[in-house]
Amino acid sequence: MTERPDTYVDARMRVRYAETDQMGVAYYSNYLVWFEVGRTEYCRARGFAYSDLEEDNETFLPVVEANCRYLKPLLYDREFVVRTRVKTFRRRFLAFTYEVFSADLETLHAEGETKHVFTGPDGRPKSLPEEFHRFLQ
Q: For this structure, is 21 an active site residue?
A: yes
Write down the number of H helices and E strands in the chain: 3, 6
Q: Name residues of the chain where pLDDT drops below 70.
A: 1-6
Which of 21, 56, 104, 122 is an active site residue? Answer: 21
Q: Are 46 and 135 in contact (CB under 8 A)?
A: yes
pLDDT at 131: 84
DSSP string, 43-56: HHHHT--HHHHHHH
pLDDT at 112: 98
Give pLDDT tens digits for 65-89: 999 999 999 999 999 999 999 999 9
Does domain 2-136 fall into CATH 3.10.129.10?
yes
Gap between the terminal Cα atoms of the chain? 10
- pTM, two decimal places: 0.91
For the chain, the domains span: 2-136
